[in-house]
Amino acid sequence: MRLIISFVILLVSIVCILSIELRNDSSYTSSDASSTTYNWLKTEMYTNSNTCEGDLLSAAYLKTGICGFEGISRVVCLEDGSIENIIYSKQGCTGDIKERIRVEQNNCTNSEKYICTESIEIPSNTYQVWYTHSTCENDNWKEDVWQMEYILLNTCLFSNAGSNMLQCNSTLAYENIYNSTNTCNSSNQTGYKFITLPECSKKSPVFSICDNGQY
């Protein structure tokens, strides 16, 4: 399941690039990529969807070292501060290494910034989606998380197609739509969309939260 808000498609692209699917694989060692020193790769997106300017709008955390992206690539954070995507020849991140793609931290790449970090930090007033291996009803779900995403509420996203703002409470989320490219004033609002929140259940490893960002 992915965030199903139109202006969050940008955030979803992070997931598609970095971790389409998770596969457990014990073949990885630090020698595959010098050494990993951080637990999470954080991808930041800003209120100006075309650049890395403006205020922070959303972020996604992906656990480093796991096998993702259709089962043939693994993202790692290196000791020299760079980020590397290792592409393998076989499913499950096995076989020969076909390619290593390296990106420097904190540089703006396609309107996104990539940062290696030791822990997940969430600001207050956010809409969050959490991904676990099993189910979110597990008492140890915090230790089971391999990915999470958050969006700042009441924050305007500017784009050439118009502006958007997400608002929600514990049971309801909705996206406000504006015809302005640089503001989210009520005078420019053209509509809204209600969002169905993925809920915690015995069958679902994915769930969402609208709260103050504490977990």
Domain borders along the chain are: 6-211
- What pLDDT is attached to residue 11? 40
- What pLDDT is attached to residue 181? 81
- Tokens 């540089």 -> residue: 107
- What pLDDT is attached to residue 64? 92
- What pLDDT is attached to residue 59? 94
- What pLDDT is attached to residue 117? 93
- What pLDDT is attached to residue 142? 78
Q: What per-residue string of b and e applies to 135-148 under the rule 16 or more CB within 10 Å gives b?
A: bbeeeebeebbbbb
Low-confidence ranges of the chain (pLDDT < 50): 1-33, 212-215
Predicted model pTM = 0.74
pLDDT digits (tens, 9 = 90+) for 114-172: 999 999 999 888 888 888 877 677 677 778 888 999 988 888 887 778 888 888 866 67
- What pLDDT is attached to residue 36? 55
- What pLDDT is attached to residue 119? 92
